[in-house]
Amino acid sequence: MALEFLSPLHKASRQISVYLETHTRALGVSPAEGHLITYLDRYGPVQVGELMRVFGMKQSTLTSMLDRLERAGLVFRELNPDDRRSLLVNAHEEGGELAEKLNRVLTALEAEIRARISDDEMAGFRAVMAAVEEVTRVQLRER
């Protein structure tokens, strides 16, 4: 029995992942690394703890990814001047250039999808996604 919402969402997520894998690998990074670089380019510098929360990764996984990206000259880590116990991560200029290429891929994909649906269908999609967000929202405790 196919689930009415979750099966199509899972299928779409998988199709997007496979599509992006082709494009990110051609640019020399994995989809997860590409996502991280575009995030850093937009929001950097970012604390490592925030990256763990945003991307839902274990510290060891994130550290390995940051090590690879740092060796490739795409990102750098530095001590947080506001809290000398934590690190900030930011994109190097080369990482910013890669993020621009990745964002062009994402923008083109979005444009192709949007061209195939009506405004009413887009409104329905937004309503479904809002319901998913509302039902799955997790309340995080304040520290």
Given a cut of 90, whether residue 10 has pLDDT beyond it is yes
Structure tokens at 23: 């494009």
Q: Which pLDDT belongs to residue 37?
A: 96
Is residue 1 included in any domain, yes or no?
no
Structure tokens at 21: 């894998």
The HSE-up count of residue 31 (CA atoms within 13 Å, CB side) is 13
The 10s digit of each residue's pLDDT in 15-47 is: 999 999 999 999 999 999 999 999 999 999 999
Is residue 141 included in any domain, yes or no?
no
Structural domains in the chain (count) = 1
CATH of the domain at 10: 1.10.10.10
84 or 36: which leads in pLDDT: 36
The 10s digit of each residue's pLDDT in 96-141 is: 999 999 999 999 999 999 999 999 999 999 999 999 989 988 654 4
User: Helices marked H in the chain — which ranges?
Assistant: 6-26, 31-43, 48-55, 59-71, 93-114, 119-136
Q: Which pLDDT belongs to residue 127?
A: 96
Is residue 143 included in any domain, yes or no?
no
Give the list of residues 6+ apart from residue 142 with CB closer than 8 angstroms, or none: none
Is residue 142 included in any domain, yes or no?
no
Q: Which pLDDT belongs to residue 78?
A: 94
Given a cut of 60, whether residue 68 has pLDDT beyond it is yes
For 43, the domain range is 6-136
Is residue 93 included in any domain, yes or no?
yes
Structure tokens at 56: 């839902």
